């Protein structure tokens, strides 16, 4: 499954709420999201750009998939 090319930082933040990520802080144009779980907190940083670069989005999705112990394709399927 291809990584979307038209998601903004704000779109991604809204979509990641499905996985219980919450906005914890913002510094400039970057937002830190945190997901609390029994295995520990997981933090990711999302830039608030109008269009996220493919490599940036791919890295964030890979990190989320690794933390959730599912495939990146499964994460994409649930976020779409």
**Would you list the domain boundaries of the chain?**
9-79
Q: CB–CB of 22/42 below 8 Å?
A: no
**Topology adopted by domain 9-79:** Metal Transport, Frataxin; Chain A (3.30.920)
22 bridge partner residues: 34
- What global pTM score does this model have? 0.93
Residues of the chain with pLDDT under 50: none
How does DSSP classify residue 53?
-
């Amino acid at each position: 499954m291809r990584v979307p090319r038209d998601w903004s930082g704000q779109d991604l933040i809204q979509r990641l709420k499905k996985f219980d990520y919450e906005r914890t802080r913002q510094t400039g144009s970057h937002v830190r999201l945190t997901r609390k779980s029994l295995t520990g907190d997981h933090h990711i940083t999302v830039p608030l750009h109008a269009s996220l670069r493919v490599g940036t989005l791919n890295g964030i999705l890979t990190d989320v998939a690794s933390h959730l112990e599912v495939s990146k394709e499964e994460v994409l399927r649930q976020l779409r």
